[in-house]
Amino acid sequence: MIEANINYSEYTEPTALMKEASSLLFRIPVFLSHPSRLNSVQQMFVDAIIMQIREALLFPRTLPISEQYPETPLTNIRRMILSSYGMVALNLRQRNVSFIENNLNQPLVGTTWEGSPFAQIEPAMAYQYGLPLLLIRETGVEQNGIWSFGIGPFLLLEWDSTVPDPITSFFSKNDWKSIFQNWVGQVRNGYYIQTEPPYQYSCSKQLDS
């Protein structure tokens, strides 16, 4: 209800709510895929990734942290992918398993770290849709599926959580800076292409003479 004694000619500063809303301008939504079970070092790494994405004026979205829909997991993932313009996927250590034998009953020795099964599902669905992908695998995690080197037409980054100062050492590497900036450029380019109006007001193609 509007009060009667409001001075309509008096200038007022933008409210806190308006400033909060305006801070999201030009933040293109991207899907940040990571496991929900994280240790303290992994949580620091995910937080650092979020900060890097936000500094690039992109908006990181995660399931089920930032948003969740009342649907099945695969439907939630598909909805996130269809409403995002890029994906960063983190394949982090979840379970340390010991080898026993293979399907031919041959004994095996050794151990490996397994990642989350959604680390296979979500990037594969995003690739099928055509989103720009940035994949980061924690060292020691089994290299299989989409995380095998040479499987996909993209580079995989590796994060070593066991080195001294694992956060700073990763983000100071040139390969991270180069690949991240290239990914950001692909995301922005895709955003502007996908948000072009269906009706074209000018001809962007040269006519054949």
pLDDT in tens, 78-93: 999 999 999 999 999 9
- Average of per-residue pLDDT values in the chain: 86
User: Is 0.85 surpassed by the pTM of this model?
Assistant: no
Helix, strand or coil for residue 87? Answer: strand
- Closest listed residue to residue 90, CA positions, set 114, 120, 119: 119
Q: How far apart are CA 38 and CA 58, in angstroms?
A: 23
CATH 3.40.80.10 is the classification of domain 24-194? no
pLDDT in tens, 34-70: 998 999 999 999 999 999 999 999 999 988 666 666 7
CA-to-CA dists, residue 116 to 69, 94, 188, angstroms:
20, 6, 29
Does residue 202 register a pLDDT over 80?
no
Distance from first CA to last CA of the chain, Å, rounded? 64
Question: Which tokens sit at 200?
Answer: 């074209």
Alpha-carbon distances of 126 from 30, 41, 48, 100, rounded to whole Å: 11, 27, 22, 34
Q: Is the pLDDT of residue 76 over 80?
A: yes
Average pLDDT over residues 180-192: 96
Given this model, what pLDDT does residue 179 score?
96
Rounded to 5 degrees, what are φ and ψ at 138?
A: -70, 135
The helix/strand/coil state of 33 is strand
* Stretch 144-155: mean pLDDT: 84
Of the candidates 41, 20, 51, 33, the residue with the CA atom closest to the CA atom of residue 121? 33
Model confidence at 149, in pLDDT bands (50, 70, 90)?
confident
Using DSSP, state whether 127 is helix, strand or coil: helix
| Three-class secondary structure of residue 91 per DSSP | strand
Q: What is the pLDDT of residues 9-26, one digit of tens each?
A: 565 566 666 565 556 555
Nearest to 167 by CA among 44, 40, 53: 44
Q: Residue 64, preceding bond cis, omega within 30 degrees?
A: yes
Mean pLDDT of 120-140: 96
Closest CA to 139 of 115, 175, 118, 168: 115
> Which band of pLDDT confidence, cut at 50, 70 and 90, is reported for residue 206?
low
- 66: Cβ contacts below 8 Å, ≥ 6 apart: 60
Residue located via tokens 């599926």: 145
Dig out the tokens for 126 from the structure.
């995003």
Going by pLDDT thresholds of 50, 70 and 90, the confidence category of residue 2 is: very low
pLDDT at 125 over 70: yes
pLDDT higher at 5 or 194: 194
What band does 198 get if pLDDT is binned at 50, 70 and 90? confident
Nearest to 132 by CA among 159, 117, 157, 153: 153
